[in-house]
Amino acid sequence: MAMNDYRMDQYRGYPTVIDAPREEATSLLAKVLGITALGFLITAFGVATAPPWGTFVGFIAVIGLIFAINLTRRQSPAVALGLFLFLAYFMGWEIGPLIQRYIRTFGSGMVFNAAATTGCGMAVMGCISYLFSINYRRIAGIGFAALILLIIAGIASMFFHFLTPDTYSWLTLGVFTLLTVGDFARIRAGGDGASATMLALSIYLDAINIFLAVLQLMGGRRSRD
């Protein structure tokens, strides 16, 4: 996923601020969740309008837009927000053919259940991050290392087939759960200078990867029944 390029750029250096006034953190969280929710609505529209050949085009567009957002995030936050919304639409193209295939095979109920499970899980992880004092610098380091190992394992498994799809999905779920907790903890700490758009991009990409992992696990279980 394009998520990997963004994570590599984001975690080259570890942040130094680990807490912020509650009012400031709450305001930032509200902005981040608002942008993220809008992104998911646009992604749903992208999924509905995705052509059968949209996966590759969407993938290339998402990667390009991630780099564009990183280039414009400081000079023009408004442009970065607009680019994020375009990214959300093309993410719908990237995952749309896959979701449409699940709907044809298992019905729309499975996709809804996967989305609902992801939403509930994200809410729980957000609550954990706000209820407990979490050193997100450490979480960022562990999560980034785990993501690199996941990428390497995924590439190696393409040739040696030592990971089943379900195993890889469980590993993906674990890695992005850790990253989500770290991202929410970063928001609680005031964002460490990151804009609401950049923080929303992190949460959004975490949720997309968790959703796809949950969908794969649900589909695999239904296939075995």
Instruction: Record the pTM.
Output: 0.88
The model's confidence at residue 11, banded by pLDDT at 50, 70 and 90, is: very low
184-210: pLDDT as tens digits: 999 988 888 889 999 999 999 999 999
The model's confidence at residue 17, banded by pLDDT at 50, 70 and 90, is: very low
Average pLDDT, the chain: 87
Helices (H), 73-195: 77-106, 108-131, 136-160, 165-188
103-143: pLDDT as tens digits: 999 999 999 999 999 999 999 998 888 888 778 878 888 88
- Sign of the alpha-carbon torsion through 35, 190, 195, 143: negative
Q: If we measure between CA atoms, which residue out of 98, 73, 113 comes closest to residue 201?
A: 73
Q: CA–CA separation, 118 vs 211, rounded Å?
A: 6
Helix (H, G, I), strand (E, B) or coil at 11: coil
Q: What is the pLDDT of residue 225?
A: 64
CA trace torsion 114, 116, 120, 123 (10° rounding)? 110
Q: What is the pLDDT of residue 194?
A: 85
Contact 187, 98 (CB under 8 A): no
Locate 17 and state its tokens.
């601020």
153-189: pLDDT as tens digits: 999 988 888 889 999 999 999 999 999 999 999 998 8
Q: What is the pLDDT of residue 202?
A: 93
Q: CA–CA separation, 113 vs 128, rounded Å?
A: 22
Q: CA–CA separation, 60 vs 205, rounded Å?
A: 15
Residue holding tokens 């994570």?
7
Q: If we measure between CA atoms, which residue out of 219, 1, 25 comes closest to residue 129?
A: 25
Whether the predicted pLDDT of 21 surpasses 80: no
